[in-house]
Amino acid sequence: MYRRTALMLLAAPAVHAQTLTPVRFSLDWAFQGPQAAFLVALERGHFRREGLNVTMERGFGSGDVPVKIAGGAFDVGVADVNPMIRMKLERPDVDLFTPFLVYDATALAVMTLRRENIARPADLVGKTLAAPDSDAGRQLFPAFARAAGFDGSRVTWLSVAPPLREPMLAQGRANAITGFITSGIFSLRGLGIRDEDIVTMKYNEFGADFYATALLTSRRWAAANPAAVTGIIRALIRAQYESLADPAMAIEVLRRREPLTDVPLETARLRMALDELTFTAHVRQHGFGQVDTGRVQRGIDAVRQAFSIAREVAWSEIYDPRYLPAPTDLRLA
C-alpha cells in the first residue's frame, strides 16, 4: 500500500536555471539506518528540486547539534528536540526553534542487561551509567527520573565516546547506558548480546512522553530563508515516505555513503525508526504536522522542572508551524 501511495506525493516545484541556496545540514548521529531516510532526501535530489544545495554531515549526539547551529557551524539539523529546549530555557538569547517535528514518539531509553538485576527505574539508584555528554538520553535523564519517581542524582555517570557506550555495558564496566533504542539495542546485538538479555526502559513508558527528533534551525536563518525551510520540510517528508515504501532503497543510499554498512542490522534499525517512532498510528492517520501543542508544552515544563529552571517558555518559542508546506504535502494521498 505504502509503495503504491508514496508515488502519489505531489512533485516538488521544478528548479530551473537558478542559484541554489546553500544549506549546511547536520544529522544527529553517525550514518546508520535511521539516518538513511534523511540521506534519501539528499541523494535522490529532493533538496535540489527545492532549489537547495545541501551538504549533509554526520552528527555527534542530539546535545551537540543545537550548540553547533547556534554557533554558526550549521544552518539546520535534525536532533532530539529536548536538549534544544533545555538550551532555550537556560539561555534566553538563543534563537533556535523547530519548524517540523519528525519523530512522533521518543526513542530515548535506559538500556541494561538482565545480569545487572535492574528491573525498574528505581533500581538505577547507586548504579553507574555510561553515555556521551551530548547524548539526549543523558541530558534528559533527570526528567525521566522525576517522571519515574526516583532520585536521578543518585547515579554515577561515565562520560564515554559514542563508540564505547555499548561495549562498556557489554564488558561490565557500566551497569546501564542511555540513548536511542535505534542505536543502543542494535549495537548491543552487534556485540553478540541476545535480545532476551537486553532490558529496555523507554522514557515514554514511565511518564516522560517527549516529542523527539525534529528539524532545528535559528529564527534568524529561517526569517532570511523561509522558502528554504519549507522546501527542506517537503523534501524530508517525501524521503520519509519513500523510505517507508522501500527500505531496501534507503539502505542502498546509506551504503553509498557508508560502504561498511551492515545491511541486515541497519535495515532493522531503519524499520524501527519508521514503524515505531516516525509513522505512529497518529501520523499514519493524520499525516505530519498535526502537533499537539499541549504535549509540546508539557515536555517543556518537564525539562524545566527536572533541571530546576525558573524561567518559563511557551510552546510557541519552541515550535513554529508557519513554515510547514501545504496540507497535501504533509501526508499520503
Dist. CA 43–CA 131, nearest whole Å: 31
3-state class of 131 per DSSP? strand
DSSP secondary structure, 69-110, as one string: HHTTS-SEEEEEHHHHHHHHHH-TT--EEEEEE--SS--EEE
Supply 97's cell numbers: 526553534
Dist. CA 11–CA 81, nearest whole Å: 29
Which has the closest alpha carbon to 311: 85, 12, 131, 41?
A: 85
3-state class of 11 per DSSP? coil
Cα–Cα distances (Å) from 153 to 125, 129, 204, 205, in that order, read: 8, 12, 20, 21
- pLDDT over 50 at 116, yes or no: yes
Q: What is the pLDDT of residue 216?
A: 98
What's the mean per-residue pLDDT of the chain? Answer: 92
Q: What is the pLDDT of residue 2?
A: 43
| Domain architecture of the chain: domains with CATH | 2-104+211-329 (3.40.190.10), 108-206 (3.40.190.10)
Query: What value does the mean pLDDT take over residues 306-333?
Result: 92
Distant-in-sequence, close-in-space partners of 324: CB < 8 Å, separation ≥ 6: 99, 100, 230, 233, 289, 330
Q: What is the pLDDT of residues 81-112, one digit of tens each?
A: 999 999 999 999 999 999 999 999 998 999 99
- pLDDT over 90 at 11, yes or no: no
Query: What value does the mean pLDDT take over residues 178-204?
Result: 93
Q: What are the two backbone dihedrals, phi and then psi, of residue 183, each rounded to the nearest 5 degrees?
A: -100, -60
Q: What are the two backbone dihedrals, phi and then psi, of residue 180, each rounded to the nearest 5 degrees?
A: -85, 140
Query: What value does the mean pLDDT take over residues 39-62?
Result: 96
Q: What is the pLDDT of residues 237-279, one digit of tens each?
A: 999 999 999 999 999 999 999 999 999 999 999 999 999 999 9
Q: What is the pLDDT of residue 333?
A: 53
- pLDDT over 80 at 172, yes or no: yes
- pLDDT over 50 at 200, yes or no: yes
Which has the closest alpha carbon to 4: 268, 281, 241?
A: 241
Q: What is the pLDDT of residues 137-169, one digit of tens each?
A: 998 899 999 999 999 999 999 999 989 999 999
Supply 224's cell numbers: 532570511
Name the burial class of residue 64, with classes exposed (0-12), middle (13-18) and buried (19+) by CB atoms within 10 angstroms of its CB.
Answer: buried
More reliable by pLDDT, 135 or 164: 164
Q: Report percent pLDDT > 70 for the chain.
A: 94
pTM: 0.84
Q: What is the pLDDT of residue 46?
A: 97
Query: What value does the mean pLDDT take over residues 193-200?
Result: 97
Supply 221's cell numbers: 536563518
Question: Angle at the Cα of 325 (from 323 to 327), degrees rounded to 5?
Answer: 130
